[in-house]
Chain A
Amino acid sequence: MATVEERVKAVTARVLKLSPDQIKPEHSFTVDLGAESVQSVELVAMFEEEFGIEMDEESALAVETVGKAVDYITNACREQDVEQ
Chain B
Amino acid sequence: MAQERQERSSKRRRKRHHLTDATKPNLLEDTFPYELPPLIQLEGPVVEYIDGEPVEFDFGAVKDRDLLISDTTFRDGQQARPPYTIEQMVHIYDLMSRLSGPNGVIRQSEFFLYTKNDRETLDRCRALGHKYPECTGWIRAFKGDFRLVKEAGLRETGILTSCSDYHVFHKLKFRSRRQCIDSYCEIVDAAFEAGVRPRCHLEDLTRADIDGFVLPFVDKLMEMSRQVPEELSVKIRLCDTLGFGVSYPGAELPRSVPKLIYKLNRECGVPSERLEWHGHNDFHKVHVNAGTAWLYGCDFVNTTLFGFGERTGNPPLEGAVFEYIAIKGDLCGIDTQVITELADYMRSIGLPIPDNYPFVGRSFNTTRAGIHADGLRQDERIYNIFDTGELLGRPPRVAITDKSGADGVTHWVNEFFGLKGENRINKIKVHKLARWVIDQYDEHGRLTAISDQEMEVKVKELMPEYWAKYKGSEK
Q: A residues near B, CB below 8 A?
A: 37-38, 41-42, 44-45, 48, 55, 57, 60
Q: B residues near A, CB below 8 A?
A: 370, 405-406, 426-429, 431, 434-435, 438
Instruction: Tell me whether A45 and B405 are in contact (CB under 8 A).
Output: no
A55: chain B residues within 8 A (beta carbon): 428
B434: chain A residues within 8 A (beta carbon): 38, 41-42
Instruction: Tell me whether B428 and A38 are in contact (CB under 8 A).
Output: no
In Å, the complex CA distance between A36 and B107 comes to 56
Q: Which 7 A-B pairs have the closest CB atoms?
A: A57-B426, A45-B431, A41-B406, A41-B431, A42-B431, A38-B434, A45-B428
In Å, the complex CA distance between A60 and B431 comes to 14
A42: chain B residues within 8 A (beta carbon): 431, 434-435
In Å, the complex CA distance between A44 and B11 comes to 58
B427: chain A residues within 8 A (beta carbon): 41, 57
Closest chain A residue to B405 by CB distance? Answer: A37
Q: What's the nearest-Cβ distance from chain B to residue A56, in Å? A: 9
A41: chain B residues within 8 A (beta carbon): 406, 427-428, 431, 434
Instruction: Tell me whether A38 and B431 are in contact (CB under 8 A).
Output: yes
Closest chain B residue to A43 by CB distance? Answer: B431
In Å, the complex CA distance between A42 and B406 comes to 10
Closest chain A residue to B431 by CB distance? Answer: A45
A48: chain B residues within 8 A (beta carbon): 428
In Å, the complex CA distance between A57 and B430 comes to 12
Instruction: Tell me whether B406 and A37 are in contact (CB under 8 A).
Output: yes
Closest chain B residue to A57 by CB distance? Answer: B426
* Contacts A/B (CB < 8 Å), 27 sampled: A37-B370, A37-B405, A37-B406, A38-B405, A38-B406, A38-B431, A38-B434, A38-B435, A38-B438, A41-B406, A41-B427, A41-B428, A41-B431, A41-B434, A42-B431, A42-B434, A42-B435, A44-B428, A44-B431, A45-B429, A45-B431, A48-B428, A55-B428, A57-B426, A57-B427, A57-B428, A60-B428
In Å, the complex CA distance between A60 and B426 comes to 12
Q: What's the nearest-Cβ distance from chain B to residue A61, in Å? A: 8
Q: What's the nearest-Cβ distance from chain A to residue B424, in Å? A: 11
In Å, the complex CA distance between A41 and B435 comes to 10
In Å, the complex CA distance between A41 and B406 comes to 8
A60: chain B residues within 8 A (beta carbon): 428
- Residue from A41, A45, A57 having most chain B Cβ neighbours under 10 A: A41
B428: chain A residues within 8 A (beta carbon): 41, 44-45, 48, 55, 57, 60
